[in-house]
Amino acid sequence: MSTVQPRLTEHDARNADSSGSLPLAGFRIVEFGQYIAVPGAAQVLLDQGATVVKVEPPGGEACRNLAGLGPAMFNAYNRGKRMVELDLAAEADRPRALALVSDADVVLSNLKPGALERYGLSPREIHRRNPSAVILTLSGFGEEGHLSRRPGLDIAAQAESGIMWVTGSAGDEPQRVGFTVVDAASAMAAAQAVTAALLQRSRTGRGTHIRISLWDVALHLQAAGWMDWLLTGDEPVRKGNGQPSAAPAADVVRVRDGYVVISAYMPRPWQALCDAIDRPDIAADPRFATSTDRARHRPALHAALAAALAELDREEVVNRLSSVGVVVGSIRDYPDAFRARTSSPGSVFLKAPGDGPVTHLVGSPFMWDGVAPHPHPPRPLGADTALLDLDPSELWREAAAPLVTKKEES
Region at 89 (left for phi over 0; alpha for psi -120 to 50; beta for the rest): alpha
Q: Is the pTM of this model over 0.85?
A: yes
Task: Read off the amino acid at residue 178.
Answer: G
Residues 248, 294: contact at Cβ < 8 Å? yes
Rounded CA separation 334/339 (Å): 9
Give the other-Cβ count within 10 Å of 215's Cβ.
22
pLDDT at res. 406: 53
Q: At what angle do helices 214-221 and 223-232 cross, to 10 degrees?
A: 70
Q: What are the CA-CA distances from residue 401 to residues 13, 81, 100, 103, 304 (Å)?
A: 19, 11, 17, 17, 61
How many whole angstroms from its chain centre is CA 256? 34
pLDDT at res. 3: 41
State the number of CA atoms in the 13 A half-sphere of 316 facing the CB. Answer: 12
Query: To 5 degrees, how large is the angle CA 32–CA 180–CA 374?
Result: 60
Task: Read off the amino acid at residue 374.
Answer: H
List the catalytic residues. Answer: 183
| pLDDT, one tens digit for every residue, the chain (410 residues) | 334 444 455 555 555 444 468 999 999 999 999 999 999 999 999 999 999 999 999 999 999 988 888 999 999 999 999 999 999 999 999 999 999 999 999 999 999 989 999 999 999 999 999 999 999 999 999 888 888 888 889 999 999 999 999 999 988 999 999 999 999 999 999 999 999 999 999 999 999 999 999 999 999 999 999 999 999 999 988 888 888 889 999 999 999 999 999 999 999 999 999 999 999 999 999 999 999 999 999 999 999 999 999 999 999 999 999 999 999 999 999 999 999 998 888 888 988 888 778 889 998 888 888 777 778 899 999 999 999 999 988 999 999 998 875 544 43
